[in-house]
């Protein structure tokens, strides 16, 4: 038997499920949007190139 003490919902009150959904804001675009920005892509390409050049230098010392 379920007692009335454990349930916070009253028959006349509004629950959060009954409200209309809130549209997402333009600010919350996520991680993939931030990674697709051109300055960040240029920076990551530069770091990747440096890592590649140092790896090749370590493998084949001239």
Query: Does the pLDDT at position 61 exceed 70?
Result: yes
**Residues 4-53: pLDDT tens digits?**
555 555 665 655 566 666 666 666 667 777 777 888 889 999 999 999 99
DSSP string computed for 13-37: SPPGGGSPPPPPPSS---HHHHHT-
Residues 6+ apart with CB under 8 A from 15: 9
Q: pTM of the full predicted structure?
A: 0.46
């Amino acid at each position: 038997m379920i007692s009335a003490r454990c349930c916070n919902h009253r028959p006349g009150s509004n629950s959060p499920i009954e409200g209309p959904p809130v549209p997402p804001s333009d600010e919350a675009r996520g991680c993939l949007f931030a990674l697709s920005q051109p300055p960040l892509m240029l920076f990551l390409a530069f770091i990747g190139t440096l890592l590649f050049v140092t790896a090749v230098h370590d493998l084949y010392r001239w």
